[in-house]
């Protein structure tokens, strides 16, 4: 498929426009992480929910994170303004408007039901509100949007089982399950039984691993949870045999460059290991994680990473978009259509 594209003929100064224009799938975005400060304040006023910050600017000023946990503390507090089905719709719809502008053709959104059910919000309001936004994204933008229910790993496996039970009446509205929140001290093995049950139910399985946690957590996510993708996974490079296995088995990594810098996984974008992951033949993809908190949506991640890393050029842009389609849970017919659209975007560059 690549034979027709002369990557070396595409000048570097055309890269930002090409990165923005090319069709892409976003596979690692937490919908609660798309809640912009303005919407947090609007929802807080709508529901008279008190906030710990006096203004939008004060809230933005709190977005200086030392690590994953310091981010999660703010992220869970921000999600406290989400109460009704309409709030979940509004949040997801705002994301889809941005995704459409970034030429995202397919999105798989994480959501954290336990963050809401713990505050007395019915799981129906969460899932139905998000589902309606997904449906409208398809109708208005042609974006195929899917939901992935995440279990919070700082809570117990019994709590994950209870959440799965509550969600099963809405089974047709989500395609898979994931594992997120505080990684260190909460290894994948803690959730072995609930992931096995999700496999029996025919759900896709993914997990955050190797973000702050060790390469061993990536192995356990594969061997114990039997996941199909690893979210982040950047610490795989600490274990060369694991890198070879990920490449051989084409296990996708959903990499989030701006997140990794904001949460101090890497000191700067210029020191990110995305080029090394691609050079090792891994099915790496670029994603935004929590764009409202980390300074940018998926195109910002692409454009800023390519600007900071001279090893990344047109060939890698094509590879990353191609990987995003391969790694998605979309039907093969959609993948072929997006591949053809990608060819056209490069032919016009």
Interface residues with Zn ion (CB under 5 A) are 289
Cα 166 to Cα 40: distance, rounded to the nearest angstrom: 26
Can you tell me which of 186, 208, 229, 272 binds ligand ADE, judged by CB under 6 A? 208
326 with 252: CB under 8 angstroms? yes
Alpha-carbon distances of 278 from 186, 252, 320, 332, rounded to whole Å: 28, 11, 9, 23
Instruction: Name the minimum Å distance from CB 72 to Zn ion.
Output: 10
112: which residues sit within 8 A by CB, 6+ positions away?
Answer: 30, 32, 79, 150, 152, 180, 181
Instruction: Name the minimum Å distance from CB 254 to Zn ion.
Output: 8
Q: Does 254 bind ligand ADE (CB under 6 A)?
A: no
Instruction: Name the minimum Å distance from CB 69 to Zn ion.
Output: 14
Site for ligand ADE in 123-162 (CB under 6 A): none
Active site residue 172: no
Nearer to ligand ADE, 190 or 342 (CB): 190
Q: Does 290 bind ligand ADE (CB under 6 A)?
A: yes
Nearer to ligand ADE, 293 or 338 (CB): 293
Q: Give me the catalytic one of 36, 108, 211, 212.
A: 211
Q: Does 180 bind ligand ADE (CB under 6 A)?
A: yes
Nearer to ligand ADE, 68 or 130 (CB): 68
| Residue 205: half-sphere exposure toward Cβ, Cα within 13 Å | 21
95 with 141: CB under 8 angstroms? no
Cα 35 to Cα 124: distance, rounded to the nearest angstrom: 20
Q: Where are the beta strands (DSSP E) in 140-274?
A: 144-152, 176-180, 204-209, 229-232, 253-255
Q: Which residue is nearest to Zn ion (CB)?
A: 289
For helices 240-248 and 215-223, angle between their N-to-C axes, nearest 10 degrees: 40
Q: Does 211 bind ligand ADE (CB under 6 A)?
A: yes
User: Which residues would be at the binding site for ligand ADE (CB under 6 A)?
Assistant: 30, 33, 68, 75, 180-181, 208, 211, 259, 289-290
């Amino acid at each position: 498929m690549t034979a027709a594209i002369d990557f070396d003929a595409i000048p570097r100064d055309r890269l930002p426009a090409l990165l923005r224009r090319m069709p892409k799938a976003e596979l690692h975005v937490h919908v609660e992480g798309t809640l912009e400060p303005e919407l947090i304040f609007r929802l807080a006023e709508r529901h008279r929910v008190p906030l710990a910050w006096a203004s939008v600017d004060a809230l933005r000023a709190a977005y200086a994170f030392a690590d994953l946990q310091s981010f999660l503390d703010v992220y869970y507090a921000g999600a406290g303004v989400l109460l009704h089905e309409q709030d979940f719709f509004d949040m997801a719809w705002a994301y889809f408007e941005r995704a459409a502008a970034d030429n995202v053709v397919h999105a798989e959104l994480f959501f954290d039901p336990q963050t809401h059910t713990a505050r007395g919000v019915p799981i129906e309001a969460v899932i139905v509100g998000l589902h309606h936004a997904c449906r409208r994204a398809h109708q208005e933008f042609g974006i195929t949007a899917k939901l992935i229910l995440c279990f919070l790993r700082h809570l117990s496996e019994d709590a994950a089982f209870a959440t799965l039970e509550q969600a099963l009446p809405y089974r047709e509205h989500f395609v898979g399950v994931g594992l997120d929140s505080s990684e260190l001290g909460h290894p994948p093995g803690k959730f072995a039984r609930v992931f096995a049950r999700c496999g029996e139910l025919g759900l896709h399985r993914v997990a955050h691993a190797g973000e702050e946690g060790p390469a061993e957590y990536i192995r356990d996510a594969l061997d114990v949870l039997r996941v199909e993708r690893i979210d982040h996974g950047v610490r795989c490079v600490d274990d060369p045999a694991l890198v070879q296995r990920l490449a051989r088995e084409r296990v996708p990594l959903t990499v989030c460059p701006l997140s990794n810098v904001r949460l101090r996984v890497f000191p700067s974008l210029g020191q990110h290991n995305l080029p090394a992951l691609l050079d090792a033949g891994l099915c790496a993809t670029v994603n935004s994680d929590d764009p409202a908190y980390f300074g940018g949506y998926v195109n910002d991640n692409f454009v800023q990473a390519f600007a900071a890393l001279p090893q990344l050029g047109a060939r890698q842009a094509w590879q990353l978009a191609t990987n995003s389609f391969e790694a998605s849970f979309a039907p093969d017919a959609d993948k072929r259509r997006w591949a053809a659209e990608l060819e056209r975007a490069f032919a016009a560059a």
